[in-house]
């Protein structure tokens, strides 16, 4: 195949970026047609006299933005269903795709087109919803929370004014630092801690401050969509790293030439969504690689409080002897998501820039909730609640797993460790994920396919089942309804 690509090795634009731009232009202008097959990275590298890594990175970028698709065994092709906005922009001069009729979007705004799938659906929720994320709302210690809210509404001067510190209420930062030190073996003080609006803001700030367009970000594949889309919106090139029973596989990362990968996103305590735990040798390998490559690792410790078998696993951050890890945590799981409070632990020298960015973004998190949370932690309610929820969720997980085995036998395999608030289930079925989700919805059951969590492969039959907010009766009923669908003949 003659691709007529000309790369300029004297340019300051990296070669993989030039490759990406030129292929993208050929797709937009119709020179490369939907479905058309592209040469393998090996052949492309030979044709253009570039390294295979450069060729792969160029393809990765186009794959992650939906211009290309890859199928096991049949190589890489131009996407057959190019996003609508790209087709409208089928002129070689257009450099920013338009979305929803607005031609004036920034590169960042245009980069959000793929993230539309993150927005919740407005249709009424099914009666038994296995959606992942929510805690057991009816088990929250709301009485204590209400009492503390009243206390601070009445007696805390300044609680309604602007905060003077965008990093968060200092006594709360101290409480969280102590909590993380004793429960997660994180090495930190309040001076390295920033209170944020949940992990999502932590990921967004981190990305905007540390990733430039065309930087390479490595992440688990399958992985968390909230992180993937934050990186994509910033124009990052994604390098998906496969996951096995010991967590993220390191070969593709450590095999990259030094300096290629800027940042790695990882969920080591409970990989999302597969549930595996990053083994100690891989943790040490990741930290050694980060130090040698001057790269940063973002550790998302979103639900690590919940482990039901074996000993708790200390945070990766606590093993780091350098300044390579940015640690992200949230109160969405241990309390409730609408609280919108989370935290970031960052190397000290990055604190000033995080403070400035936070102030510019939304100044600071609401003070009232920060005061309440500080007392909630200091008066022992948080850890008591976590202990209670650990028992409750362990029981719910067990009911779900046993019922799946009882009703579906080996047609349902549950992946991952005994931890967290969801399981990944692989169903053996002839139904596509779409069809199973639709039939489940008709039966009043909410199911989430894990297909979107995979960067490149087209895995079918894997579903993320959240169980924390479902009583044992509803869990059993939900599984019975799923089994009925899978048992049906057509």
Ligand X SMILES: Cc1ncc(COP(=O)(O)O)c(C=O)c1O
Euclidean distance between CA atoms 176 and 331, whole angstroms: 11
Q: How many CB atoms lie within 10 A of CB 191?
A: 12
Euclidean distance between CA atoms 79 and 384, whole angstroms: 51
Nearer of residues 109 and 337 to ligand X, judged by Cβ = 337
Nearer of residues 68 and 298 to ligand X, judged by Cβ = 298
CA atoms within 13 A on the CB side of 289: 23
Is 221:228 a contact under the CB 8 Å cutoff? no
Least Å from the CB of residue 223 to ligand X: 8
Euclidean distance between CA atoms 310 and 304, whole angstroms: 13
Nearer of residues 282 and 333 to ligand X, judged by Cβ = 333
Nearer of residues 17 and 358 to ligand X, judged by Cβ = 358
Which parts of 332-391 interact with ligand X (CB under 6 A)? 332, 337, 342
Instruction: Give the CA angle between residues 197, 243, 347 to the nearest 5°.
Output: 40
CA gyration radius, the chain: 24
Euclidean distance between CA atoms 96 and 107, whole angstroms: 6
Instruction: Return the range that interacts with ligand X (CB under 6 A); candidates 62-70, 73-81, 162-170, 330-338.
Output: 330-338
Angle between helices 170-184 and 381-408 (to 10 degrees): 50
Euclidean distance between CA atoms 56 and 297, whole angstroms: 22
Which parts of 193-232 interact with ligand X (CB under 6 A)? 198-200, 224
Among 302, 354, 393, 427, binds ligand X (CB under 6 A): 302
300 binds ligand X (CB under 6 A): yes
The 144-163 site mask, x for binding ligand X (CB under 6 A), equals: --------------------
Least Å from the CB of residue 415 to ligand X: 16
Burial class (CB within 10 angstroms; exposed 0-12, middle 13-18, buried 19+) of 195: buried
Size of the chain, expressed as the number of residues it contains: 490
Instruction: Return the range that interacts with ligand X (CB under 6 A); candidates 111-119, 205-213, 329-337, 376-384.
Output: 329-337
Among 256, 267, 276, 453, binds ligand X (CB under 6 A): 267
Nearer of residues 76 and 201 to ligand X, judged by Cβ = 201
Least Å from the CB of residue 255 to ligand X: 26
Instruction: Return the range that interacts with ligand X (CB under 6 A); candidates 86-94, 105-113, 178-186, 192-200.
Output: 192-200
The site for ligand X (CB under 6 A) is made up of 133, 198-200, 224, 267, 272, 300, 302, 330, 332, 337, 342
């Amino acid at each position: 195949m003659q691709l007529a690509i000309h790369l300029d090795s004297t340019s300051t634009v990296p070669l993989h970026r030039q490759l990406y731009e030129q292929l993208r232009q050929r797709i937009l202008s119709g020179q490369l047609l939907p479905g058309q097959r592209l040469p393998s990275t090996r052949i492309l590298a030979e044709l253009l006299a570039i390294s295979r890594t450069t060729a792969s990175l160029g393809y990765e970028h186009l794959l992650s933005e939906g211009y290309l698709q890859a199928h096991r065994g049949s190589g890489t092709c131009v996407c057959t269903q190019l996003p609508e906005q790209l087709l409208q922009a089928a002129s070689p001069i257009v450099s920013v795709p338009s979305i929803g009729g607005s031609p004036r979007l920034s590169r960042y705004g245009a980069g959000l087109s793929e993230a539309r799938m993150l927005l919740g659906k407005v249709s009424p929720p099914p009666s038994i919803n296995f959606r992942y994320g929510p805690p057991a709302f009816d088990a929250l210690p709301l009485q204590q929370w209400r009492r503390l809210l009243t206390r601070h509404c009445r007696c805390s001067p300044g609680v309604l004014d602007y905060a003077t510190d965008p990093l968060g209420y200092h006594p709360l930062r101290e409480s969280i630092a102590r909590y993380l030190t004793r429960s997660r073996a994180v090495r930190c003080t309040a001076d390295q801690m920033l209170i944020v609006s949940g992990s999502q803001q932590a990921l967004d700030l981190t990305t905007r401050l540390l990733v430039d367009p065309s930087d390479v970000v490595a992440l688990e594949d399958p992985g968390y969509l909230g992180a993937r889309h934050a990186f994509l919106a910033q124009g990052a090139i994604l390098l998906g790293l496969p996951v096995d029973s010991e967590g993220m596989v390191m070969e593709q990362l450590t095999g990259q030439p030094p300096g290629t990968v800027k940042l790695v996103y990882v969920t080591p305590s409970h990989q999302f969504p597969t549930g595996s735990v990053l083994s100690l040798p891989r943790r040490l390998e990741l930290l050694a690689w980060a130090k040698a490559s001057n790269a940063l690792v973002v550790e998302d410790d979103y639900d690590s409080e919940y482990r039901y078998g074996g000993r708790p696993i200390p945070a990766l951050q606590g093993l780091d002897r350098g300044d390579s890890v940015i640690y992200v945590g949230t109160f969405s799981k241990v309390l409730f998501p609408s609280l919108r409070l989370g935290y970031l632990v960052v190397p000290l020298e990055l604190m000033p820039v995080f403070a400035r960015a936070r102030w510019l973004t939304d100044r600071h998190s609401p003070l009232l909730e920060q005061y309440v949370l500080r007392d909630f932690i200091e008066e022992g309610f948080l850890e008591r609640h976590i202990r209670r929820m650990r028992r409750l969720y362990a029981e719910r997980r067990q009911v779900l797993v046993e019922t799946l085995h009882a009703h579906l036998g080996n047609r349902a395999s549950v992946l991952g460790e005994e931890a967290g608030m969801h399981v990944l289930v692989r169903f053996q079925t002839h139904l596509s994920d779409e069809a199973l989700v639709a039939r489940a919805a008709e039966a009043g059951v909410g199911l989430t396919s894990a297909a979107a969590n995979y960067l490149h492969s087209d895995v079918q039959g894997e579903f993320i089942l959240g169980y924390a907010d479902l009583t044992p009766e509803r869990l059993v009923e939900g599984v019975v309804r799923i089994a009925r669908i899978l048992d049906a003949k057509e």
